Amino acid sequence: MLVAQLVVLCGRNCGVSWSRVYLGVHSPCDVLGGWTIGVLLLFIFGGFADKLYDAYETSSANDDVSFFVYFYSFVILLLWLHPRAWPETQSYGELTTEIAMTLYSAKAWAMSPS
């Protein structure tokens, strides 16, 4: 199941990248630079995710909901600060679609039998 999700995710990312080059919005160098920065951020925030999970485990053991309040308040703040959609980019719509797809995939992965 995880392999299939990774294939779909990588296929989508390659499709978006190729469409940006095909439409002339970005050069191939821009796309490769974006992928490089994305991979670097993945490694940086991968360590942060472990600390975030430890905080979640600690708050779950104590039945403390402050972790969820702070975390989701921060997410809502980021959505509020995000620039509104322009007709040329539709960035806000893309952001909310990506968040919904990620949450749905995480829920499906968590509910799948191991």
The tens digit of pLDDT for each residue in 1-45 reads: 788 888 888 888 888 888 888 888 888 888 888 888 888 888 887
Check residue 85 and give its pLDDT: 54
CA dist., res. 65 & res. 53, Å (int): 14
Check residue 44 and give its pLDDT: 80
Q: Which two tokens stand for residue 64?
A: 């403390």
* pTM exceeds cut of 0.85: no
Check residue 88 and give its pLDDT: 56
Q: Which two tokens stand for residue 67?
A: 């972790």
Band (91; pLDDT cuts 50, 70, 90): low
User: Region 95-113: what's the mean pLDDT?
Assistant: 76
Domain residue ranges in the chain: 19-63, 65-95
Check residue 102 and give its pLDDT: 80
Query: Tokens 């806000």 sit at which residue?
Result: 92
Report pLDDT digits (tens) over 39-86.
888 888 777 777 777 877 777 666 666 777 777 788 777 777 766 655
Query: Tokens 């490769």 sit at which residue?
Result: 32
Helices (H) and strands (E) in the chain — how many of each? 4, 0
Count Cβ atoms below 10 Å from residue 106 Cβ, excluding itself. 11
From the list 104, 82, 99, 100, the residue with the least C-alpha distance to 91 is: 82
